[in-house]
Chain A
Amino acid sequence: MNGLTFDIAHMLAGSLVVASFLQLYQDRLSALINVFAVHAMVLALSVAWQAYIQDAPHLYITAVIALAFKAIIIPVALRRIVVRLGIHREIENVVGVGLAMLFGIGLVALSMVVMLRVTAEADPLAREDLAFALSVVLLGLLLMVTRRNAVSQVIGFMSLENGLVLAAAGAKGMPLVVEISVAFSVLIAFIVIGIFLFRIRERFDTVDIQAMDRFRGERR
């Protein structure tokens, strides 16, 4: 393993974690969408780099899908939805920014400790990649639980999926089936979500998940 190729891979995967942190403290929706676009772009670069160093051309497809679909199409569509619903200025945070960042740091530390210890015998690149990927997954989860707005939960879910793609790309020689399926599932997920958002708007006049809690059957 050449020192420089390793360093670049390492840097790109690390940037993805940083982008995840950037998402955590965005309190305006349009800003959050922008950061998600950056997140997806970093992912595309990272996957493309993996394709280059692993000499695995099929990974380029995954990279292109990530770039075109997640970095361009989805952010544009989301921005339109947000503007149409008139919530692009909305500010929402369930727990404070500081607390969320602290939690995030804790999760990254946790995933480093777990993954690096467990994969002591694997090759160093896959190791680091996996540890970063788990951090991104956990940060995505954190974003989902700290937000009330349906759009930001969706973004949390998609950045979680970005972490999965990073892990799949880092696992050397992983069959094509999975990459395509991941990209594909994101597509379906987005369609589903799109439908939901519009339906939710129709019924609730808000995309705030808390408004939905009132309609629960059990507790009143």
Chain B
Amino acid sequence: MMFDPLNGVLLIPALAACLLAVLPGYRLTARLNMLAAFLTFATAVSLFVVEPAPGLYLLVDDLNKVFIVLTTFVAFSTSVFSASYIDHEIEIGRLKLSYVRFYHAMYQVLMFAMNLALVANNIGLMWVAIEIATLTTVLMVGIYRTHEALEAAWKYFILGSVGIALALFGTILIYMAARPAIGEGLNAMVWTVLIMHAPKFDPALLNVAFVFLLLGYGTKVGLAPLHAWLPDAHAEGPTPISAVLSGLLLNVALYALLRFKMILALNPIALAPGPLMVTMGVVSCVFAAFMLYRRRDIKRMFAYSSIEHMGIIVFAFGMGGPLANFAGLLHMTMHSLTKSAIFFAVGHIAQVKGTQKIADMGGLTVTHPVLGWGLVLGVVAIAGLPPLGIFMSEFLVISSTFSRAPWLVMILVFGILVALGGLFMQLNRIAFGEPRGPAEPAQASYVPMFTHLAIVLIAGIYMPPSLVAGFQTVAKLLG
């Protein structure tokens, strides 16, 4: 049988997970984890060359290709960072060896689940994949077994489960709405079939279904006021998992939401999904921006920054239209890259300082110049200053929507500016001023962090025309 890249992105992580679950020794398994992640990434890239035809269960189209490549890339670089991070955690005895085996296996299961959610052509299968992804991250957030970690994992588990339960109810309602038009059976859950028949669905059922889906998957996206699990889960788990959560899992949930939005948008009588998303987006952005100021924990602070940016992205997709969708897609990509780079830096910073409390770290640019300036660069990027990529995408979000909803956009800009102030105030305490805390040299892997930041920088200055064209196709697809 010919090797199919579509099966590849699922099989490689699945096999790697089985292998890593039985292999002892963390150095070897960390390398294997990297290798598996790299192979998955390479396979994902090859999807651009060979595009398999959609089946009843799996599908590859222009929309999810972007998501898959981004996911597998960040997953790969995070596995590189994770190797050196875990190394240090074992050295200081924070993580037991038996847990490390579990950690690596779970990492690959998570990759499998996220890829499955992205390539699923069946809305039931997609739901199952997101549920698996949630459960694995719950287990990983609780891996340190401290009071805080367990509380965070429990909270995440309960809120996440309620979220996906609501999403399942929404999925069932979509099936009910589609059944009269498509007929009973598997076809009424296949996304490619759904989208063809969407105009004939029962609009009232679709409306209720979308509300449930928005609340359900919106919890996973971390939209305010459903975000309560997010800061805890980011702060208490291992930092590579914070990077994956912020950079990838939120996107996967957003992807699910976008798929359903496309179905709704095609039905002329159903309510427009846009305004709901726009409202939640603006609220998340402004709320999270204010929350940045009083944070005492560095990872918690960047978790709130993720909520802010997911708000901006959901706002852009909610406004819709080719331009705003393009901006949203670009912003999502830039945010994933930048935020994971920041978490790479934060992970090592927390390790050298032995704490996550902002009050106990200071003068990083003096004591650890590379880490410190890396963080400064990351925060400058995430705050949206030129010439980095996020400035570009935020500018596009604002300029493409301003004429349609000037007041809303002004509120959004206000949120972005408030966030900028908060980020710089905190950055000033962390990176500059009198050095505080231990000043041991860091044993860090800087490559993943600076690779991400370099991509963000280049994207802010010059975007290759082929990439722009690709994004434009996807943006049109989103409607």
A and B from one assembly?
yes
In this assembly, does B269 line the interface, its C-beta being within 8 Å of a C-beta of chain A?
Answer: no
In this assembly, does A130 line the interface, its C-beta being within 8 Å of a C-beta of chain B?
Answer: yes
Interface residues of B in 162-181 (CB under 8 A from A): 162, 165-166, 168-169, 171-173, 175-176, 179-180
Asked if A203 and B204 sit within 8 Å, CB to CB, the answer is no
Chain B residues with CB below 8 A from A134, complex form: 169
Asked if B124 and A178 sit within 8 Å, CB to CB, the answer is yes
How far in angstroms is the closest Cβ of chain B from A129?
A: 10
Asked if B172 and A164 sit within 8 Å, CB to CB, the answer is yes
Chain A residues with CB below 8 A from B166, complex form: 137
- Partner of A196 from B157, B188, B189, B295 at Cβ < 8 Å: B157
Chain A residues with CB below 8 A from B175, complex form: 171, 174
Closest B residue by C-beta to A177: B124
Contacting chain A: which of B11-19, B139-147, B345-353, B434-442?
B139-147
In this assembly, does B392 line the interface, its C-beta being within 8 Å of a C-beta of chain A?
Answer: no
Asked if B158 and A144 sit within 8 Å, CB to CB, the answer is yes
Q: Is the interface of A mostly helix, strand, loop or mixed?
A: helix
In this assembly, does B131 line the interface, its C-beta being within 8 Å of a C-beta of chain A?
Answer: yes
Closest A residue by C-beta to B168: A164
- Partner of A216 from B132, B138, B151, B157 at Cβ < 8 Å: B151
- Partner of B300 from A120, A189, A217 at Cβ < 8 Å: A217
Q: Mark B197-209, 1 if CB is under 8 A from A, else 0.
A: 0000010110110
Interface residues of B in 99-154 (CB under 8 A from A): 122, 124-125, 127-128, 131-132, 135, 138-139, 142, 145-148, 150-151, 153-154
Chain B residues with CB below 8 A from A126, complex form: 176
Chain A residues with CB below 8 A from B142, complex form: 196, 199
Asked if A192 and B150 sit within 8 Å, CB to CB, the answer is no
- Partner of A173 from B148, B158, B184, B231 at Cβ < 8 Å: B184
Asked if A189 and B150 sit within 8 Å, CB to CB, the answer is no
Q: How far is the CA of A153 from the CA of B142 in the complex (A)?
A: 18
- Contact A218-B162, Cβ < 8 Å, known A122-B202, A181-B128, A185-B128: no
Number of A-B contacts (CB under 8 A): 130
How far in angstroms is the closest Cβ of chain A from B428?
A: 21
Asked if B165 and A164 sit within 8 Å, CB to CB, the answer is yes
Asked if A177 and B151 sit within 8 Å, CB to CB, the answer is no
Interface residues of A in 116-143 (CB under 8 A from B): 117-122, 126, 130, 133-134, 137, 141
Interface residues of A (CB under 8 A from B): 114-115, 117-122, 126, 130, 133-134, 137, 141, 144, 150, 153, 157, 160-161, 164, 167-168, 171-175, 177-178, 181-182, 185, 188-189, 192-193, 196, 199-200, 203-204, 209, 212-213, 215-218
Interface residues of B (CB under 8 A from A): 122, 124-125, 127-128, 131-132, 135, 138-139, 142, 145-148, 150-151, 153-154, 157-158, 161-162, 165-166, 168-169, 171-173, 175-176, 179-180, 183-186, 188-189, 202, 204-205, 207-208, 231-232, 235-236, 295-297, 300
